[in-house]
Amino acid sequence: MTENRPRLEGTKIAILVTNGFEQSEMTEPRRALDEAGATTHLVSPAGDEVKGWQDADWGDAFPVDVALDDASTNDYHALVLPGGVINPDQLRAEPKAVRLVRDFVIAGKPVAAICHGPWLLVEAGVVDGRRMTSYHSIRTDLINAGADWVNEEVVVDGRFVTSRSPNDLPAFNEAMIRQFAAARELVVA
């Protein structure tokens, strides 16, 4: 499946995280994007490094590439929002993170969110009328915010790509890369 994957050279992708992201939901999409030729940056309000969450405990530490305060939508073609429970719950309480997510959507740039990652899209007020999926426990949050929630491994609606859980990562990665390649015409300042 990956042999026909579009190439993403010259494409810059922001991955917005804080401590407690589901580790596989950051590392696997990041690896897929890097293998497709994209440049990926971990963007975070957490300082110099962030820790993942893996198998019911803290996972590995990863260096932060760009502080949230220094991140600009103009510097990137697309945004990835990994899940986990802790990560998006903390980020949705961070006004600068919510503003960054909203700015990506307003700019018409693609956003890929998995598991609990769509919580940030709810907080940004950008899910009304969108067909989406997520981890089942935030289904009601998406519906209450106006989304058409469906139980599918990956959903593409406009420039949004959403998936339910780490089990969906292969489908999520393929859809995300295809969506990001289709939107490559967006100019980065």
115 noted as active-site residue = yes
Q: What is the pLDDT of residue 2?
A: 52
136 noted as active-site residue = no
In a domain, 189, yes or no: no
In a domain, 125, yes or no: yes
Q: What is the pLDDT of residue 188?
A: 46
Q: What is the pLDDT of residue 185?
A: 56
Its domain, for residue 122, covers: 2-182
In a domain, 103, yes or no: yes
In a domain, 85, yes or no: yes
In a domain, 188, yes or no: no
Residues of the chain with pLDDT under 70: 1-3, 185-189
Domain count within the chain:
1
Q: Which residues contact 142 (CB under 8 A, 6 or more apart)?
A: 118, 122, 127, 132, 134, 149
